[in-house]
A and B are shown apart, each in its own frame.
Chain A
Amino acid sequence: MGRPLKFSVFRFNPLDPTSVPHMETFHLEETDAMTLYIALNRIREEQDPTLQFDFMCRAGICGSCAMMINGRPDLACHTKTKKLPTDITLLPLPVFKLIGDLSVDTGSWFRAMNEKVESYIHTDKTFDPKAPEERMSNELAEEIYELERCIECGCCVAACGKANINNDFMGATAFNRIARFMLDPRDNRKTDEYFDVLRGDEGIFGCLGLLGCEDVCPKKIPLQDQLGMLRRKMGFASIRHLFGRILPGGEEARK
């Protein structure tokens, strides 16, 4: 006999004018190696076919199934019930727009973020199909990959005190993305161009330094290091901007 599990699940259908946000209780008996993926699918298939939640890869790779699990954002697919108490509370991620129940619209949020940080290689070169590839040290390739591993699950955004009170705050995932491109020699943007994206309260200086982002990142990306690095770099850039305004020839120093 497995443990009796009690799930308190957030329910709300924003399209239905009669729907009121509330918690609903479901019961399941725990089975071997049960994950929240298994549990939620069982609830939907056996108890309530209307329950909305998202899964895709069910293997911790795609980032679809992030939700608040007993108050902490994490991927539901890789969360084993045996690591949780018998009372399990599931809520949708905050910050993102609610689609229904546990399902939130991360797609629109991340597309907007990627547009804002211009998340692509900026180069004046054109691709030559006949030329060999440009060389890169394996060490650098691995450093870039380390930051490239973000799966855009949204856990860091959900755990961010600032993002929860200011919808425009870019969040650790955007900073990590910028750090990734700053590291990449194929991207020709100058520090000041990054500064234009990152400055202000919505950007790196709005970060409160609570570091909830790194604590919850399911891919264990070193977000704290990136925040520190960006703040130092952008701090210098902002001083150069300041001098640019008050000193003759200071604009030159920006370049």
Chain B
Amino acid sequence: MDTFYTDLLCVGAGLAGERVAVAAASEGFSTICLSIVPPRRSHSSAAQGGMQASLGNCCMGEGDCPDVHFADTVKGSDWGCDQECARLFAETAPIAVREMAFWGIPWNRVVAGEGTYYKGGKQYQKIEKKEMEGTITARDFGGTAKWRTCYTSDGTGHTLLFTMDNKVVELGVTVHDRVDAISLIHDGETCMGVVARDLKTGNLRAYLAKATLIATGGYGRTYRETTNAVINDGSGVILALDTGIVPFGNPEAVQFHPTGIVPTNILVTEGCRGDGGTLKDVNGERFMHIYEPGKQELASRDVVSRWMTHHIRIGKGVPSPYGPHLWLDIRHLGAAHIKTKLRDVEEICNEFLDVDPITQMIPVRPAQHYSMGGVRTNKDGAAYGLKGLFAAGEAACWDMHGFNRLGGNSLAETIVAGKIVGEKIAEFLKGYEVNIKTEVVRDAVNKQEARIAALIAGRDGKESVYAVRNAIQDALMEGVGIFRNEADLKKAVDTLQVVYERSKKVGIQSRVIGVNPEVAMALRIQGMCRIALCVAYAALQRTESRGAHAREDYPERNDRDWLKRTLATWKEGDNLPTLNYEKPSKVWELPPGERGYGVAKIIYSEDPEVIGSSKPATN
């Protein structure tokens, strides 16, 4: 078996993993990134719309600053976020955007002079100032007070990822692609690396490191209808949950994106609505202005997704063989705009739908999109419970998104948190030594070898791994969707407990030397089921509505009882997670109040530590 040793091991080589690697490598630390795909294929590449940073360059962003970005982020989170992280994030985002410009991002720039833009289907005039010509511009996104989302056409994630990977090449960071981390090596106190499987040969490897970072993205593939790539199965969260120690923060906080195309759930960017696209119903009529007169199509994603679902439920959906959907209309933006600023959207519509968005409307409906929950860390990115373990990006619950992430804040988080956490890891590594206990390494490797042998021998059963995966996805989709209630959640938990027993009996049909795609999925399946149970069970317990977590039977946001973050751990042998709770914030810079969009009643906190909570703040 091959063994590798390094200062920092990044599990995941998307934007967050690579940004952390760049920070550590810049300080001279040896760094290895593991990635199950070539790094430039990471899901970060699919992010279209942009990255929020309060540069305030364009005229509609004038007066923007980190304070406003902070406030938008906290409101977006429905006061579920860690305000210290949100503050750190908002302050660092402009620097991170400019640093990416310095490294080569062709950000779209301010063009001086008169121009037009669309909002709510109507055209408006704007004048960009001469003195701002050539600075980084921004577009409008949901839930923001200013135009703040910096972009490169609608390929922002792609350009960021390629530029970041260029930096990785420049710094000589080692990347081992097609390597799948399947277990952490730890002794209950300190993390020492991972056991991984080489996806080119099927062989096991040990990676030993002083610091290990989990940056594997989200767990969207636990849902049937998701915008996520096929690799987003929560593998990093599974690594953490398997320790029995490291908590999974806010598993129930799952975001649905309003505009997944029907039927394939491929995402079309929020930039469509940001640039003035409108949502329409079966009669070709707009409806968002009825529910949200102020923000209309640009309320936060949780709010828009719920109103769309509501509108479909009252019979205004467009019937189709794949169930009812709504329309996204960007025709009025014109061919020139669509062909430059929304060209990936044009391509996706043409290639996957046979729809020309210049002349036709796009069939859309909400689909699972983002995991606000993840490996719980402190503001330095250090995971709770194990020394030497860190997390960043969507895999982490850092936690700046709380119960709803704003569009443009995920790309921003990968790079901003990557920068902050990377610098903290470099600090941690200075003078730090780890005692690698060989018996711990041996036991960890043996355990994985035994698991694989049992799977291949079919020792525990012959359940089909794909059938079990489908059962997990169906249970979450049906029971833990956009609207939730006690009966459905209970049913989902019960179903998933049965599926969990099945997941322990998975057997492999194929006997091949080397790579075996079925084994890769089988090694993950119990973990995916545990994630799904954490999501469903935590959602069942949370008897309130906050951000993306909408309980029909508890429509109020209940700060009195639920202004707290869920921490789920999984004890060996259990068939449900253990749930604990902590306060979402140590510092209450912005006391809980109304978001200014979405109609929800609030039961205010009576906790004197939550400053000003006795006097509800208004927008």
* B576 in the interface (beta carbon within 8 A): no
In the bound assembly, the distance between CA atoms of A120 and B22 in angstroms comes to: 14
* B46 in the interface (beta carbon within 8 A): yes
Name the residue of chain B whose CB is nearest to the CB of A134.
B101
In the bound assembly, the distance between CA atoms of A175 and B480 in angstroms comes to: 49
* B575 in the interface (beta carbon within 8 A): no
Tell me the total A-B contact number using a CB cutoff of 8 A. Answer: 189
From residue 6 to 46 of chain B, which have CB atoms closer than 8 A to chain A?
37-43, 45-46
In the bound assembly, the distance between CA atoms of A64 and B95 in angstroms comes to: 32
User: Is B466 a contact partner of A141 (Cβ separation < 8 A)?
Assistant: no
User: Is B134 a contact partner of A137 (Cβ separation < 8 A)?
Assistant: yes
Name the residue of chain B whose CB is nearest to the CB of A187.
B104
Residues of A within 8 Å of B137, CB to CB, are: 138
Question: Chain B's nearest CB lies how many Å from the CB of A106?
Answer: 6
A145 with B517, Cβ < 8 A, contacts A114-B166, A129-B99 known: no
Residues of A within 8 Å of B351, CB to CB, are: 60, 78
Query: Which stretch of B167-175, B181-189, B600-608 is in the interface?
Result: B167-175
User: Is B513 a contact partner of A135 (Cβ separation < 8 A)?
Assistant: no
User: Is A110 a contact partner of B40 (Cβ separation < 8 A)?
Assistant: yes
Cross-interface CB contact of A13 among B109, B466, B512, cutoff 8 Å: B512
Residues of A within 8 Å of B40, CB to CB, are: 62-63, 110, 151-152
* B108 in the interface (beta carbon within 8 A): yes
Residues of B within 8 Å of A182, CB to CB, are: none
Query: Which stretch of A45-53, A196-204, A206-214, A238-246 is in the interface?
Result: A45-53
Residues of B within 8 Å of A44, CB to CB, are: 517
User: Is B513 a contact partner of A107 (Cβ separation < 8 A)?
Assistant: no
* A55 in the interface (beta carbon within 8 A): yes
* B347 in the interface (beta carbon within 8 A): yes
User: Is B230 a contact partner of A144 (Cβ separation < 8 A)?
Assistant: no
Residues of A within 8 Å of B101, CB to CB, are: 133-134
Question: Chain B's nearest CB lies how many Å from the CB of A79?
Answer: 9
User: Is B99 a contact partner of A127 (Cβ separation < 8 A)?
Assistant: yes
Cross-interface CB contact of B347 among A16, A49, A60, cutoff 8 Å: A60
Question: Chain A's nearest CB lies how many Å from the CB of B303?
Answer: 25
From residue 269 to 301 of chain B, which have CB atoms closer than 8 A to chain A?
none
Cross-interface CB contact of B153 among A78, A145, A186, cutoff 8 Å: A145
* A59 in the interface (beta carbon within 8 A): yes
Residues of A within 8 Å of B97, CB to CB, are: 133
Interface size on B, as a range, is 35 or more
Cross-interface CB contact of B266 among A58, A118, A186, cutoff 8 Å: A58
User: Is B102 a contact partner of A127 (Cβ separation < 8 A)?
Assistant: yes
In the bound assembly, the distance between CA atoms of A169 and B139 in angstroms comes to: 41
Encoded as 1 (CB less than 8 Å from any A CB) or 0, chain B from 173 to 206 comes to 0010110000000000000000000001110000
- Contact residues of A: prevailing secondary structure: loop
Name the residue of chain A whose CB is nearest to the CB of B511.
A50
User: Is A62 a contact partner of B166 (Cβ separation < 8 A)?
Assistant: no
In the bound assembly, the distance between CA atoms of A120 and B100 in angstroms comes to: 12
User: Is B135 a contact partner of A133 (Cβ separation < 8 A)?
Assistant: yes
Residues of A within 8 Å of B104, CB to CB, are: 120-121, 184, 186-187
Cross-interface CB contact of A15 among B466, B515, B518, cutoff 8 Å: B515
Residues of A within 8 Å of B202, CB to CB, are: 15
* A253 in the interface (beta carbon within 8 A): no
Question: Chain B's nearest CB lies how many Å from the CB of A26?
Answer: 15
Cross-interface CB contact of B111 among A13, A35, A114, A138, cutoff 8 Å: A138
Residues of B within 8 Å of A247, CB to CB, are: none
User: Is B108 a contact partner of A49 (Cβ separation < 8 A)?
Assistant: no
Encoded as 1 (CB less than 8 Å from any A CB) or 0, chain B from 483 to 516 comes to 0000000000000000000000000111011111
User: Is B162 a contact partner of A148 (Cβ separation < 8 A)?
Assistant: yes
* A100 in the interface (beta carbon within 8 A): yes
User: Is A57 a contact partner of B229 (Cβ separation < 8 A)?
Assistant: yes
A61 with B109, Cβ < 8 A, contacts A49-B518, A141-B152, A149-B155 known: no
In the bound assembly, the distance between CA atoms of A45 and B340 in angstroms comes to: 39
User: Is B170 a contact partner of A120 (Cβ separation < 8 A)?
Assistant: yes
* A193 in the interface (beta carbon within 8 A): no
* A252 in the interface (beta carbon within 8 A): no
Cross-interface CB contact of A148 among B95, B98, B106, cutoff 8 Å: B106
* A115 in the interface (beta carbon within 8 A): yes
User: Is A15 a contact partner of B109 (Cβ separation < 8 A)?
Assistant: no
* B431 in the interface (beta carbon within 8 A): no
User: Is A57 a contact partner of B155 (Cβ separation < 8 A)?
Assistant: no
* B133 in the interface (beta carbon within 8 A): yes
Residues of A within 8 Å of B155, CB to CB, are: 145, 148-149
* B4 in the interface (beta carbon within 8 A): no
In the bound assembly, the distance between CA atoms of A14 and B513 in angstroms comes to: 9
User: Is A16 a contact partner of B45 (Cβ separation < 8 A)?
Assistant: no
Name the residue of chain B whose CB is nearest to the CB of A219.
B347
Name the residue of chain B whose CB is nearest to the CB of A82.
B354
Question: Chain B's nearest CB lies how many Å from the CB of A214?
Answer: 17
Residues of A within 8 Å of B165, CB to CB, are: 114
In the bound assembly, the distance between CA atoms of A140 and B46 in angstroms comes to: 23
Cross-interface CB contact of A132 among B98, B109, B231, B466, cutoff 8 Å: B98
Name the residue of chain B whose CB is nearest to the CB of A138.
B109
In the bound assembly, the distance between CA atoms of A44 and B612 in angstroms comes to: 58
Residues of A within 8 Å of B347, CB to CB, are: 60
User: Is A57 a contact partner of B321 (Cβ separation < 8 A)?
Assistant: no
Name the residue of chain A whose CB is nearest to the CB of B467.
A45
Name the residue of chain B whose CB is nearest to the CB of A99.
B200
User: Is A62 a contact partner of B518 (Cβ separation < 8 A)?
Assistant: no
Residues of A within 8 Å of B42, CB to CB, are: 56, 62
Cross-interface CB contact of B133 among A106, A120, A135, A140, cutoff 8 Å: A135
User: Is B510 a contact partner of A50 (Cβ separation < 8 A)?
Assistant: yes
User: Is A45 a contact partner of B102 (Cβ separation < 8 A)?
Assistant: no
A107 with B166, Cβ < 8 A, contacts A16-B513, A133-B135 known: no
Cross-interface CB contact of A62 among B46, B103, B348, cutoff 8 Å: B46
A-B contact pairs, 5 of them (CB 8 A): A55-B230, A107-B177, A127-B102, A138-B134, A151-B40
* Closest 9 pairs (CB-CB, A-B): A135-B134, A107-B38, A15-B514, A144-B106, A107-B177, A138-B109, A120-B166, A50-B510, A49-B518
Residues of B within 8 A of A (CB): 37-43, 45-46, 95, 97-99, 101-104, 106-111, 133-137, 152-153, 155, 158-159, 162, 165-167, 169-170, 175, 177-178, 200-202, 229-231, 263-264, 266-267, 321, 340, 344, 347-348, 351-352, 466, 508-510, 512-518
